[in-house]
Structure 1
Amino acid sequence: MTLTTLTPQQAADKASVSRGTIMNAINDKTLVALRDNRNRWQISADNLSKWMADRTDNISDIISDNADKPDSEAAHQFDEKAMRIAVLETEVKAKDQRISDLEQERDARLADKDQQIADIRKGFDDQIAQIKGERDRWVDHVQRVERGRRRKWWPFG
């Protein structure tokens, strides 16, 4: 490319906009740009000047359109926006309340599950104690039987 080409960042600095704005304009094809052999965007100074002029015209058109609107229409738009904001705030409060209710319900369920787990563990502990008691009884029984037997040299006779 020639020396009069700019990178998107350089074009953004020159136009006093962000690089994202330049990239959006390139993607929208409102700003003509080419890719070089390294697949980098190159913007000619002439194309940037044209884009900046078109953009300035569009902004001034928007400002003049808003200035042409009567105050009652502007007030009506403001009222609609204020009502919309109020509705959205109400919806947010309702959703916050719903979240709070769900969190309380979750906490109650967790407490109930914790109690169930504790009850199950207590049952297991009781069964384990019972099994250990039976084991000890059997061990005592086997030891008593072994003590009563006379030890022989050969186990079969």
Structure 2
Amino acid sequence: MTGKLTISEIMGQIQQNWPRAMGPETPVILGVIRLNDIIAEGTNRIVADYGLTQSSFEVLMTLRAQPVPRQLTPTGLYQALLISSGGMTKVLKQLEQDGLVRRVAHETDQRSRYVQLTDAGETMAEQAFDAVTVFESAVLSKALSRDQIAHLGETLLQALDPLERDRGT
């Protein structure tokens, strides 16, 4: 993030040059966007150390969060992630080549196959997750107490819940 104006500097410019655009939601939206950028930049570096992309990391995390045998259909994965179907195919092929997932037959639909996390994939998911969690915790702890982090999480979920329900997600 070096070389970028801080959110406070950006808001100062808005306040000075376009005060009508400075509503109560402005710091929230700008802050969420910048926090996402900071977390994504660090997370991308960490998962790359494990030979993963952000998309492949998300696939492993999604599969790891499933009950044993830790599998979903490609459609189920597509619905759980922000990856295009074409992008999903590419990610799954790479994860399969790396031995982190395997395709298994669907028990009732012979046209469909599950994507299942392998033991190596589960280990990789847990190791990468642990490293990412340490990073995310360190980033947030630089600015907020544990109680503030918990309160921020609750507030964001309160904001997102009705918005996601309205979208049908």
TM-score calculated relative to the size of structure 1:
0.28
Return the structure number with greater helix share.
1
Structure label with greater radius of gyration: 1
TM-score in terms of structure 2 length: 0.27
